[in-house]
Amino acid sequence: MSRLIIRIIDFFYPPFSKLMPVSFFRYGVCGVGNMCFDWVLYFVVYNFVLRKQIFDLGFIAFSPHIAALLITFPIVLLTGFYLSRNVSFQGSSLRGRIQLFRYLCIVAVNLLINYFCLKVLVDFVGIYPTPSKMITTIFTTLFSYFAQKHYSFKKDFVLK
């Protein structure tokens, strides 16, 4: 599957070849694709699964925008790890379980960023949940790119 994704992405690379390396282009396309998947999934869960209603588990209740985040986050996490490991950051010398652990650590920080940004933007600023999620994604994307590149999927450099 990853080879097919790489072939499709690389098909659109030539016009950008003078602007950026192919690895950065792949990261951008995978990131945008996963981000759009996240937004659509969040919208569907918030509007059609939760129907904008409080999600009550009996012992704890979640506002619909936070419940939608908690439901969609694991799904987007898995697609993001797959794309990062197999398309964007190929060639890391780290073992898969180390990559996954580091990826999960960064994702945990992203979850906190998501939670606090959504709480502030929706509950205090009064912005609708879906645009708030989109704004929050800008912060998490910047953090994720640098953290994943230099921590989760880093490559060892061999000095000659």
Do the domain assignments include residue 107? yes
Q: In the structure encoding, which two tokens stand for residue 98, read together?
A: 């180390």
What is the reported pTM?
A: 0.74
Band the pLDDT of 157: cuts 50, 70, 90. Answer: low
> Does some domain include residue 55?
yes
Residue 25 forms part of a structural domain: yes
| Mean pLDDT in residue range 25-38 | 92
Domain that holds residue 19: 2-152
Q: Are 137 and 38 in contact (CB under 8 A)?
A: yes
157 domain-assigned: no
pLDDT at 158: 46
3-state secondary structure of 1: coil
Report if residue 42 sits inside a domain. Answer: yes
What does the pLDDT look like over 72-122, one tens digit per residue?
989 998 999 999 999 988 878 888 889 999 999 998 998 899 999 999 999
**Is residue 26 situated within a structural domain?**
yes
* Predicted pLDDT at 122: 94
Domain count, the chain: 1
Q: Report the greatest alpha carbon distance in the chain.
A: 62
Please check whether residue 74 lies inside any domain of the structure. Answer: yes
Q: Provide DSSP, 12-67.
A: T-GGGTTTS-HHHHHHHHHHHHHHHHHHHHHHHIIIIISTT--EE-SS-EE-HHHH
pLDDT reported for residue 7: 96
Q: Is residue 17 part of a domain?
A: yes
